[in-house]
Every structure is written in C-alpha cells, then in structure tokens.
Amino acid sequence: MGKSSPNSGIYLPTKITKLPDLLNQVRNAKRKIAQLKLEGLYLSDAWLEKKLALNTKQPQYYWRLRTKHGLFPNGRKTMYVRQDEVQKYRKAIALGREIKKLERFIKLTSQRAARLIKRAELRGIVIQNPLGDADSSHDWYTPLMYVEMVRQVLGTIDLDPASNDTAQQWIQAGRYYTKEDDGLNQPWFLSVYLNPPYGSPEVRLLAQKFLEKAIFEYQSGNITAAILLLNRTGASWYKKLLHQVTALCEVHKRISFIDKHGMQQRSPRYYNDFLYLGKEPEKFKSVFEKIGNVTIFEKSLAII
C-alpha cells in the first residue's frame, strides 16, 4: 500500500518514504567505521591459530596469524606472533570483523536505497539530496501556512534573524538578517520568528546557538516573544534547552519545506517542533494544537 504526501498530493509508495531512514543508517555506519579505525590496529579477514610445534621433546605451542585475502607486512599470508602479542592481534581481528560487518551493512543498505531512488525516478519523483545532509541546501523555507499561524500568535513578525530575500516575500518580517549580516551578532527586538539554518554538522550547530540566543534575549527582556521552528532531535543540548522555553508544539507530520526555487520538499526527513517564548502560551496552544501536541512548561513561566 502506498500513501500520499500531505502537501504535494503526489502518490508515494510506502517504501520510498523509508529512504531517509536508510540514508541515515548508511551515514551512521560510515561514521562508526571512521571511529573504529581510530581505535588502533585492525585486521580484515584474519584469524589466529595456535599450533603444536613439531620436532620438540616437550609439547610446545606457537601462534600464527593467517589471512585469506591480502598480505601481512612480511609479504606473506601467514605471520608468526609472539605470546605477548596475542592480545593485541585478537583485538585487531575483532575490530576488523566489526568494520567488515558495517561495510557489508552499508553495501546492502545503499543497494536498497538505490533501488528505491530508481523506483521513485520511474514514477517521475525526483528525490532531493539522495546523498544526505552534507550535500543538502541550508535553505529550507517555512511554508506560508505555518508563517500565518506564527502571525496569529505573535500579531506581527518584527524580526526574522536568519533569513533571505526569497523567504521574506511571504514572511514579511519588519526586519530580517541574512547570513552576511550574521543574525547571531545583531540586536534582536520585539517579536521574533526563527527557522535557523540546516545542513552540514557545522551548520546544524547554528541551530543550538540560535536557540540559546533566543532564550537569552527573551530572558533579558530584549524581545517580547518568539516562535522557533526546529528539527526535532534527541541531542542533549536540545532536551536541556527545551525546558527553558514557555511552550512546545511537537508537529505530528513532517513539514514539507520550500526550497530556494520555491518548490515544496517532496520527502521531508525530519519531524519538527515549534518552540514558543512568550506570555501567551494559551494563545500559542490554541493555534498550534491543530498541528501537534502542545506542552506548556510551568517552570519556564516562573522565570519570566
């Protein structure tokens, strides 16, 4: 059975919607391999053998390392190992096996992903950014429907601290900062709507900095209210900062953002949260509960 994407109206077979997860799994496995390789010596396709030495009066054992593929530094497929080196090579073999398992997983998962991409293309669906975050645009703009909801709560959007000319055609903030201005180093004021930059891991760090700044500016009284749209993440910084906002809306559906060409994202990969800082959490709730679960944090109210 398939299902249709709520915003595009395009029929997507269920399996194609799994593509983001598959690509994420591949990325994680690659990251894990890089970490394992840093742990020290690793040997692929090798094993240790304990052999009984012949031609000795007393039974004596010795160890040798063997491999089917490749060669050891001695240029052979067998290498003798001293007793005190056995532990080191056992660890290297275990590491090598773990890496190989991950490589097999990456191969199979990438093949599955490639089949899904092909199937999508046959149906005329273009998968954006099939290679993952690092290659993706940082510019995912908020669809008008959500901007209107923000306006219902804030009244006006006086400042959008991370923006560009295109998104401003419909956000129409009183003032906005672009990458060149660097919104993190500019004064913030009145009511703020913020959808921070996405993309590579370095850019993702910006989301944390923007959220920290929003909380700081609100608690300092420099801004009157703010609504932030963020990717939902299990990161500890996010969980910690969430409890400092006034209210949270966990959006039920993945939001299909708008790209810089004005096209709606076909296969959104992340779930999103709207975070509210302000004195009217009930108003925020009444508007945003239509699209997700809303939680009001009592403690954060006490800070104000």
Ligand X SMILES: C[S@@+](CC[C@H](N)C(=O)[O-])C[C@H]1O[C@@H](n2cnc3c(N)ncnc32)[C@H](O)[C@@H]1O
Chain positions contacting ligand X, by CB under 6 A: 138-142, 160, 162-164, 167, 171, 177-179, 181-184, 195, 197-198, 206
Question: How distant, in Å, are the alpha carbons of 33, 67, 274 from that of 102?
Answer: 7, 19, 36
**Nearer to ligand X by C-beta: 13 or 292?**
292
Report, in Å, the least distance between residue 228 CB and ligand X. Answer: 10
Q: For the chain, what is the radius of gyration of the CA atoms? A: 27
Residue 11 tokens, joined: 């029929």
CB atoms within 10 A of CB 280: 16
Report, in Å, the least distance between residue 215 CB and ligand X. Answer: 17
**Nearer to ligand X by C-beta: 133 or 139?**
139
**Nearer to ligand X by C-beta: 184 or 241?**
184
Report, in Å, the least distance between residue 111 CB and ligand X. Answer: 32
Given the DSSP bridges, would you call strands 159-160 and 175-176 parallel, antiparallel or unpaired? parallel
Q: Which amino acid is at 185?
A: N
User: Which residue reads 């809306």 in tokens?
Assistant: 249
**Nearer to ligand X by C-beta: 67 or 136?**
136
The pairs formed by 286-292 with CB atoms below 8 angstroms and a separation of 24 or more are: 287/149, 287/152, 287/153, 288/149, 288/153, 288/249, 289/249, 291/149, 291/249, 291/251, 291/252, 291/253, 292/249, 292/250, 292/251, 292/252
**Nearer to ligand X by C-beta: 44 or 164?**
164
**Nearer to ligand X by C-beta: 47 or 238?**
238
Report, in Å, the least distance between residue 149 CB and ligand X. Answer: 13
Report, in Å, the least distance between residue 245 CB and ligand X. Answer: 18
**Nearer to ligand X by C-beta: 178 or 200?**
178
Report, in Å, the least distance between residue 138 CB and ligand X. Answer: 6
Q: Measured between alpha carbons, how far is 249 from 294 in angstroms, rounded to an integer?
A: 4
User: Which residue reads 């953002």 in tokens?
Assistant: 257
**Which of 251, 260, 47 lies closest to 149, judged by CA?**
251
Report, in Å, the least distance between residue 27 CB and ligand X. Answer: 20
**Nearer to ligand X by C-beta: 144 or 304?**
144
Report, in Å, the least distance between residue 92 CB and ligand X. Answer: 44
